[in-house]
Chains A and B, each alone.
Chain A
């Protein structure tokens, strides 16, 4: 189930812990890279394949939570698994709100961690796919002319050709041609397909305007 290019990052200031976790990851056939501090990790090039990061909350310098914030800010889809010696409730709430996958208490059971890592990698994979799909949709939207985008918006809000022509001040025939052009450029087979793409692209699909 795991891609060969999947990679697990371990960031902990304790050498032994780092070493042990890396060993554990390797024992289940995962690629692993370790870092002694958050800054060390940030200095690394982003990994193109699926990845996740196991972070110690308390570290000298930039803490695990700080690093999580940094990653989020840079738009990373990386899944974060937190480890802590003695985690507090507010700390775990903060981490989870910021999108952490897991908040594990040290010492960590291997299966829990491995499951979490797999889950994280899977989530990362999905996020990466979703991100790629969205990118494709946006490219398609971008290939539309401005009039076609206007028509696209009116179509997904449920308006008829005649209504659109009236609204845009053109003929129904022109609208019909432009509608076919939108369907083509958006690779949509049906109106429903087009609406799904519009939602994904974040285009307003409400029908209130028609009423």
Chain B
């Protein structure tokens, strides 16, 4: 489509070029046209007419017309001598030149052509320009018509008067101003005739042929409701020469009534306006007729032209001066010289300027604001960077970033110090991994991968080997960050030295383990004493029975029944002993918590058995108050027995300390809630004071002189390992303390 259009344009251009070539190829015929102007060259009407003539000839395509304008100055030089001189001049001047047509402007020039210079241009066709209709009618009927045609200047005076009356409906008198030259007289006559039609309606004040001073005086004191009709003044009553429109200008300024004129040359010099005759159009029309004649037409066959419609023009300043509303002007009127107010004139400039100022100001303001904001932002950025740096360095933290694509690592000085590498050493992920202890490398690699996938946000802990052979624990935390510029992902993070914390943790763990072992051994000491006593009983029985049996056998006859009974007792006691030994073995087992389904009541019965064998219990009675049908709990029998044993021992010691040696210790079980069972050990001691109550389960808190303060701490550790809770309280109904703990049931634990 575009191609076709371009092709079309190209073709058109070619055709245009061709036409131009062709027209250039055919040379226009040369013609000489003489133009005779009646007045001097400065005459305003001539200027316009000349312009029209030149324009019309220039735009014609047929002839190459050369113009010969002559200004006859007939108004200023009115004597016969001048006429003869002019005729002689023209005759001599154009004797050798073939003139193809003559345009004569104004009747005066036509008259000279038809009279004094008749012989100078014999047979040359003439176009009369800007002549009145009556003059044209005279020519039409004369013998000269064969060679002459022309353009009538249709001065529609009646129309002008109608317009004047339309604008000034109350007009009662009309002042007519005209000069003294023949042209002036002619034109004044035309006005006078037109005014005859209004005889009776309008009073005529005839100011024709008066000296200018008189005229000015008269127009300054015209009666109310007058208008001035100005025809033309080339020369006033005193013989003083004027350019008509300049005379008009003087008159209009002096006048106390609006001035009307018929020629467009007057526009802007003091007339109100109306349908104005155009001298330029006269020139154009005349040239057009001349071209027709040059083209071969006979002047006689061309009727007088001049029915042109002229534009309706008004002077805005005069309308204002005489207070004439624009609404009364006939439709299609054009108003010239409109003086706009400063605002009207410069509206857009002002709006533009104001807009510019506003825009500039806004721009400036936003720039300044922007600058201030930016400064503020920069300042706070610097501050926050400072703070960040301060925070990071005071925390001993190192910053780093990793580009996963290249594996290159940027590390802050602190990070490098942490890793034990030089400040200028090139660092990448490979090199970094060599610093990490081999056991931790996989952890680190996996963490990096997962962080990149956004799966990990928690810090990792790993070890690096330092050049001096020591090992440093480091905690690192990273976060992946999308780089919009490169559409890649970067890993940024912080690393901290946690060696001390780690060591402290490990040491604390070791301490705890040691203490637990010590306390365990301590309580094992007591437990084993109880067990030793227990195991001695069957052993004692076995030995005594065996020896009794041996003595029985030595008797004659031996009592076999007695011996049989003795042996079965021995077997029973032996089984009892091996049971105790089995339990003793588990007691010294040091393994971790071994969870199994446990009958809590059974545990308590066994523990109570130990406790009864403890030498401490011989003054205290142990009462069991166990709820039947307690749900099975999940736990380590040995550990739970130890808890019960510790609590009972604790109760006994409390009672011994307070002198209530023959009291009672009550162990009870009950269902605590849906998911757990509760065990309580209640003593008859003095109870717990409030100060101690909060710290009672802490290690090394002991109210007993020889106590290590480990018993209850161990209890808490064990119960919490079972997912239970242990607490101490004072009995409300009687003296003594109650220690209670809960243990989740199997169901509760699963939940």
Interface of A with B (CB < 8 Å)? 14, 16-17, 19-21, 23-24, 26-28, 58-61, 63, 83, 85-86, 106-110, 113
Contact = CB atoms under 8 A, between A and B. Distances in A.
A9 to B, nearest CB: 16
B311 interface: no
Q: Give the interface centre of B537, B539, B540, B544 by most chain A CB atoms within 10 Å.
A: B544
A107 B540 contact: yes
Interface in B548-594: 548, 551-552, 555, 562, 566, 569, 572-573, 576
17 contacts: A14-B540, A17-B544, A19-B545, A20-B543, A20-B545, A24-B544, A27-B547, A27-B551, A27-B552, A59-B618, A60-B617, A85-B533, A86-B532, A106-B536, A106-B539, A107-B544, A110-B548
| Of listed B573, B576, B615, residue having the most chain A CB within 10 A | B615
Interface in B495-540: 529, 532-534, 536-540
B615 A58 contact: yes
- Summarize B's interface: helix, strand, loop or mixed: helix
Given A19-B569, A58-B618, A107 B532 contact: no
A107 B542 contact: yes
B532 A16 contact: no
A68 B539 CA distance: 25
B530 to A, nearest CB: 9
A85 B536 contact: yes
Interface string B597-627: 0000000000000001101011101000000
A58 B540 contact: no
A60 B532 contact: no
Contacts of A108: 540, 543-544
A106 B540 contact: yes
Nearest to A83: B540
A184 to B, nearest CB: 54
B612 to A, nearest CB: 6
A24 B613 CA distance: 25
Contacts of B250: none
A60 B547 contact: no
Contacts of B572: 16
Contacts, number: 90
B321 to A, nearest CB: 143
B621 A60 contact: yes
A90 to B, nearest CB: 12
B540 to A, nearest CB: 4
A174 B566 CA distance: 74
A26 B565 CA distance: 14
User: Which 9 pairs of residues, A with B, have the shortest CB-CB distance?
Assistant: A85-B533, A110-B547, A20-B544, A85-B536, A16-B541, A27-B551, A107-B543, A106-B540, A20-B541
Contacts of B547: 24, 27, 109-110
A89 to B, nearest CB: 14
A17 B548 contact: no
The residue among A24, A28, A63, A108 with the most chain B CB atoms within 10 A of its own CB is A24
Contact of A106 (B529, B537, B618, B621): B537
A28 B544 CA distance: 12
A19 B347 CA distance: 135
Contact of A85 (B532, B551, B621): B532
A113 B544 CA distance: 10
Contact of A23 (B537, B555, B566, B576): B566
Contacts of A107: 536, 539-540, 542-544
Nearest to B554: A27
A59 B529 CA distance: 14
Nearest to A21: B544
Contacts of A106: 536-537, 539-540
Nearest to B562: A23
Interface in B193-238: none
Contacts of B613: 58
Nearest to A62: B618
Nearest to B534: A85
A107 B539 CA distance: 6
Of A20, A26, A107, most B-chain CB atoms within 10 Å: A20
A109 B544 CA distance: 7
Nearest to B622: A60
A108 B546 CA distance: 12
Interface in B53-77: none
